[in-house]
Amino acid sequence: MSEDKFNGFLDGEFGEEVLDETTKNDVKLYFEALKVFRMRYDYKPSAKLEEKIMHRFMKPRRILWEIAMGVAVVAAAFYITFNLVPRRNVEPAVQESKVVSEVFDYLSLVKLVGDGF
């Protein structure tokens, strides 16, 4: 096949009579392929098939939505439990400083091992 002649023919530079037999066949194959290509890309599915395909995409989206809703509900429940519902204070109400406990421990020990002053 002469590629220059093939392209020149398609561009309308010269007529079919200039082409040799091989190029003519190629041109014919090209038009056949173009026809199939057009048929393929101009295809429009039926409304039923379109709905079926769209439904296939919508279903996972709904599952994601339900999961997101579930996470939000759990987060809200945690927030209410730990921030809004009154709970018992587990920290010791009375704080003893280090200096106080050291004095107490020391005096207790001296009292224990000694018998007075």
Partner 1 sequence: MRRTLFLVAIVLVTSFVLAQSFVELYLNASYFGRRIVVEKGPTNKSRIEMVYRWPNDKIVHVLDPVFLVWARRSGLFIMGQPNNYRNSPLEILDLEDLFIKQLREQGITKLEKIDKKYKVMVESPSGLFTAFITEDGLPEKIVRVFNNVTTELVYEHVEVLKESFEEVAQRYGIKSAEETVNLPNEIKLILSTVNWYTVSRLKIGEEQVVMIIANHKSGSVIKMVFSSKDVTVNIEQNEQLLRIKGKDYYLYVIAQDQAILEQVKSLLSKER
d(CA 72, CA 40): 46
Q: Does 31 bind partner 1 (CB under 8 A)?
A: no
Closest to partner 1 by CB, 56 vs 98, is 98
Cα distance between residue 34 and residue 36, in whole Å: 5
The CB-side HSE value for 31 (13 A sphere, CA atoms) comes to 8
Q: Does 94 bind partner 1 (CB under 8 A)?
A: yes
Contact between 47 and partner 1 (CB under 8 A)? no
Q: Is 50 helix (H, G, I), strand (E, B) or coil?
A: helix
Do 5 and 18 touch, CB atoms closer than 8 A? yes
Q: Is 65 in the site for partner 1 (CB under 8 A)?
A: no
Tokens of residue 3, six digits: 């590629």
Please give the Cα distance from 13 to 19 (Å, whole number). Answer: 12
Does residue 53 interact with partner 1 by CB under 8 A?
no
Indicate whether 114 belongs to the interface with partner 1 (CB under 8 A): yes
108 binds partner 1 (CB under 8 A): yes
Instruction: Name which of 50 and 105 has its Cβ closer to partner 1.
Output: 105
Site membership for partner 1, residue 107 (CB under 8 A): yes
Q: Can you give the binding site for partner 1, defined by CB under 8 A?
A: 93-97, 99-100, 102-104, 106-117
